[in-house]
Structures are given as structure tokens and as C-alpha cells.
Amino acid sequence: MDNKVANVLRGAFIVVLGILVAVCGVGTALDVYIGVVAIVAGVLLLAIGIFSAVKKMPLAVGCILLGAVLSTIAVAVFMKELSFAVLVGLMIYVLMGVGFGLVLLGILTIIRHGLLPGIVEIVVGALLVTFTAIYLGFPDFQKAFWIIVGILMAAFGVAVIVFALIDKKTGKKK
């Protein structure tokens, strides 16, 4: 696939994901995105597995099993029996833990290595703890946060498309 076409497709996927995040929220967007990717990958793997089985190639078993698993996961996601939104909550707590760890590490860095690197670690850690605490404590902030993130993702996707279509040497459309 041509690099330009790949970048345009990549940008389009990012725009769609950004719009999904801004409109639906991250949980629903993540479920839709993973569901679509799982169903497409599952069907492709099943097709490759069946083709391999007909041609008596060794890929058949693995492709058929993985294709069936991915297709089943996609069906469960679309039936609302499975959700990957829990990963968002998990990530928030991971980021909070990283923030606390950076504050402690910053204190140790000040004692052992120097003031400036330790202060940077403390500030970054404190910002992580603060933003995750606000995220957990205020549902209105969560909604606004994901709308902003979705808009930024969509804007980034548009930038990827634009840069793919502009000639880097002349600055004109390819």
C-alpha cells in the first residue's frame, strides 16, 4: 500500500475514533472501536484459516482458532455482554499510582541527586494525582475531558491526512 494512502487511512481512523470519543464518551468509543477491529480481524483470520485448510497449509488451526476467538469477542462487545471501558478506570488508578510514586521518587531524587530533577518529578507526580483525583471526583469534568480529548484526536487525524496529501518538498498538494 502506498505510504500516502496508508497515512490518509490512518488519519481517517483517528478522526472517526476522535469523533466517537467526543460524542459517545471513551467507554462506548473503545467498545465500538475494539468490536469493529475484532470482527474484521476475526473474519479475515477465519477466511485465511479456511483457505489454509483447503490448501492443507499449517496456518489453518491457529488462524481458525484466533479468528473464532476474535469474532466471539466482537459479538460479545456488540451484545453489551463485554466491555473494555473498565480499562479506562484501571488506567486512571494506574496514573494516580504513578503520580504518587513520582512524588516519592522526587523526594528521594532531591536528597540524592539534586534539586531540579527532583522538583520536576514532584510537579509531574502532583499534576497526575491532581488530575486523576478531579477526574474521579467530578463527573462533569469527565464528560468535558473526553469531549476535549475527542476533538483533539479528530484534529490530529485531520492533520495526518493533510500532511499525507501535501508534498513535503514544495508545500503544495500532491
Q: How many domains is the chain partitioned into structurally?
A: 1
Q: Which domain holds residue 69?
A: 3-165
In a domain, 173, yes or no: no
In a domain, 109, yes or no: yes
Q: What does the alpha-carbon distance between residue 105 and residue 127 come to, in Å, rounded to a whole number?
A: 14
Q: What does the alpha-carbon distance between residue 43 and residue 98 come to, in Å, rounded to a whole number?
A: 38
In a domain, 171, yes or no: no
Q: Which distant-in-sequence residues (6+ apart) come within 8 Å of 142 by Cβ?
A: 135
In a domain, 154, yes or no: yes
pLDDT tens digits along 71-130: 999 999 999 998 888 888 888 899 899 999 999 999 999 999 878 888 999 999 999 999
Mean pLDDT of all residues in the chain? Answer: 88
What percent of the chain has pLDDT above 90? 40
In a domain, 170, yes or no: no
Name the one residue in this structure whose C-alpha cell is 473474519: 43
Q: Which of 132, 134, 135, 108 is nearest to 121 (CA)?
A: 108
